[in-house]
A and B are shown apart, each in its own frame.
Chain A
Amino acid sequence: MTAVAPVPRLIEQFEHGLDAPICLTWELTYACNLSCVHCLSSSGKRDPRELSTRECKDIIDELERMQVFYVNIGGGEPTVRSDFWELVDYATEHHVGVKFSTNGVRIDEAVAAKLAASDYVDVQISLDGATAEINDAVRGPGSFAMAIRALENLKNAGFKDAKISVVVTRQNVDQLDDFKALADNYGATLRITRLRPSGRGADVWDDLHPTAEQQVQLYNWLVAHGEGVLTGDSFFHLSGLGEPGALAGLNLCGAGRVVCLIDPVGDVYACPFAIHERFLAGNILSDNGFQNVWQNAPLFLELREPQSAGACGSCGHYDSCRGGCMAAKFFTGLPLDGPDPECVQGFGEPALAQDRDKPKSHLDHSRSGGRKGPVPLKLLAMPAKAPQKFCNESPV
């Protein structure tokens, strides 16, 4: 970071929002071969309204004009879109860098070689256990082997610095050193992020989220290994555990201020963990483009106003954690101007113990019948079902 003459703190500038996001998450499809129990976007089946290749390229053109430097592409499993590589190439040719998240299903030797030849594509392989046993309990049978095969292909092809992306859970928090060793073994960088109660994650959060003791363990591990490990700045709710600045990164909720989510049908949400009507800012197709939504959506203007500290106002740690994660509070049924459910001062626990109404998303693309292991996807034929079957409207 470049420090010069005194100006308002950068964090304050960010709270007022930027003219364009620094980066954004773009979920290209709700289709997925896996059925992870904590899926943020409740993915499984493709949505019939997903953006066409042309519509995606138009969005990339707009991102280039706005100088959005890179997009984090995810899903669903983005690589199952038949135009996935075409879109990746189009983005990088138009000065929009690509980082994509995958479970590895399509990263065979040929794809790994192609990726190794590109300078502007980053690959992130999702893995939620350093052993098959712990990983597959969350991500499904065979998913550990699939991810490892992808990492091997990338390494053998000479791809530099893949990312291994781990959602920290009660079951894998003791494996952080093992994940680091695994990453080192593949010449990869470890990225660990916070479990959010979003999407299907709402159903498993109570059982999977790290205990208060484990939060401290995680914090200490992060402070010790912070420089070599990526976090997507997702653990800012832990920053009250130590000195300000001990935790690397920007400790601020960037939702609608410096980040956002574009979903597979062109809906724009405040952040990737907030697929709910409450955080829906608009639609790129029907609201005159992404720039218009980013700069003028009433929701985003509201999020860029000073936020009330509410019940956290009297807490001495508010400056560190800023009340924590909006999505984590919302989907656990806690007030947005109160403590984070995993508040490190313990203020979340009594709130969680009370009667709560957990808001359900209006979207659920989960396959019916639950998980039976990896599903071979055939995306060319559209299911002969009425479209409304894809979107289970919740009455809540």
Chain B
Amino acid sequence: MTTIISCQDIYHRYDAGGAGEVDALDGVDLEIDESEFVAIIGPNGSGKSTLAKHMNALLLPHQGRVLVAGRDTKDPDLLWEIRRTAGMVFQNPDNQIVATVVEEDVAFGPENLGLCPEEIKRRVVESLSAVEMTDYLKHAPHQLSGGQKQRVAIAGVLAMQPQVLVLDEPTAMLDPSGRREVLETVKRLNKQKGITVVLITHFMDEAVEADRVIVMDAGKIVVAGPPREVFSQVEVLRNVGLDVPQPTEVAHRLKAMGFDVPPDVLTVDELVAAVCR
């Protein structure tokens, strides 16, 4: 599998103060393969959002380097190609939509790339269809729900035909149905179109869907691996200040009480099967 994003021993210093508050990165090494679905979890202040912003050169490392599809983010000439390759969706659904009509907002990215009007139109239709928002072509953003706005934001990024989709806590401000919408859309894009997905989240039920889970704390990667492996390390996660899925926690407690229950159950079904053996 080819590596699409490579973070090589990166450091980022803490930048104190109000709205510009940014957490530190304290020596992070991370390789992400094409078409992988990676979830990055961690408490507030762990640096997960900072790490995400290094992947599309919104931030540059003070030490070490970041390669996106082989391109160094420090090279100013490659900046726009990198941002086209690694598209990013942010936490606040409203503060990403720039135009008064959905259609025009999705066109924003391609317009910036200087594509011709027919190509832009084609991509707008394609992207909205990929996120299942075709019916909302002519809607105004304020008429949409949070989940719909985030899907429009994703479409806006897809219209640039990126290889990687980085999502920085995209569901933090959504209600449960909005969260489901966004997660399903992201999973589908990953499985059907092979788009690499990097999902920053603090919802465990989202992280369990990933191929690989990276746990961060205080600017470092603490644990990484398939969800099963990571979530079974309940103590580590607890110390870092994170949740585990409830079934996993129950299994963990049962094991501590001396029962022979596998520690890596993730879902209700798995635990039921284990108990009824």
A, B bound: no
- Chain B residues in the interface with A (C-beta under 8 A): none
- Chain A residues in the interface with B (C-beta under 8 A): none
